[in-house]
């Protein structure tokens, strides 16, 4: 099964991706990993991407998309894949669709995990990390044990200001890919509120895996 996983920051995409990988036995792919691997392999695309990465800039779509498509055509993706965190914009989605068609690779579904903004803010701003063990806790959903509570810290990207900025970026740039895939009949909406096991069950049902 060839899937794209979409959702706002803090929606639980990582948790659901892990469950899908366990069920489907397909690779979980992120553009960051693909870019680093292309650089490591010294491919022509990788060498071009490395120039942007060393300069601290974003790798342009005309380089990212061929790297993604090249990766999706490798042997371990023959039975499917889960593409997470890409595409991030409508132009990327459109360009990826054209490239996949040319490569004769067809998507099976695009899963969007939907969670209200205020719950996202509650999830993210409540996160705390133990600087010693790097364990992540949550003030409401998974409080730290008494013996470590005094030392846990809130990461800088987990503040409300940072969270709302990421949500604004998601709604402005990434959310427009949802109607694009909906129009193609690929979209599968999943309610991302509740117990993670229930969300997994909903995800499986949306994909006909339950």
Residues of the chain with pLDDT under 50: none
Topology (CATH) of 2-26+79-206:
Rossmann fold (3.40.50)
Domain assignments of the chain as residue spans, ordered by start = 2-26+79-206
Positions annotated as catalytic residues are 13, 88, 127, 155, 166
**What pLDDT was estimated at residue 59?**
87
The pLDDT > 90 percentage for the chain reads 83
pLDDT digits (tens, 9 = 90+) for 49-80: 998 888 887 788 999 999 999 899 999 999 99
- Nearest by Cα to 83 from 64, 102, 98: 64
């Amino acid at each position: 099964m060839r899937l794209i996983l979409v959702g706002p920051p803090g929606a639980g995409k990582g948790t659901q991706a892990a469950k899908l990988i366990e069920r489907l036995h397909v690779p979980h792919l992120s553009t960051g990993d693909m870019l680093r691997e292309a650089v490591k392999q010294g491919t022509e695309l990788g060498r071009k991407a490395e120039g942007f990465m060393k300069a601290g800039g974003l790798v342009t779509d005309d380089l990212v998309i061929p790297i993604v498509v090249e990766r999706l055509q490798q042997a371990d993706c023959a039975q499917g894949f889960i593409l997470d965190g890409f595409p991030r914009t409508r132009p990327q989605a459109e360009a990826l669709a054209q490239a996949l068609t040319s490569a004769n690779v067809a998507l099976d579904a695009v899963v969007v995990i939907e969670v209200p903004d205020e719950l996202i803010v509650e999830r993210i701003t409540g996160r705390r990390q133990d600087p010693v063990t790097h364990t992540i806790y949550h003030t409401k959903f998974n409080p730290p044990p008494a013996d470590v509570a005094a030392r846990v810290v809130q990461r800088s990207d987990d503040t409300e200001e940072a969270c709302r900025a990421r949500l604004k970026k998601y709604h402005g740039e990434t959310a427009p890919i949802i109607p694009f895939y909906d129009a193609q009949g690929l979209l599968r909406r999943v309610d991302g509120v509740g117990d993670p096991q229930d969300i997994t069950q909903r995800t499986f049902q949306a994909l006909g895996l339950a």
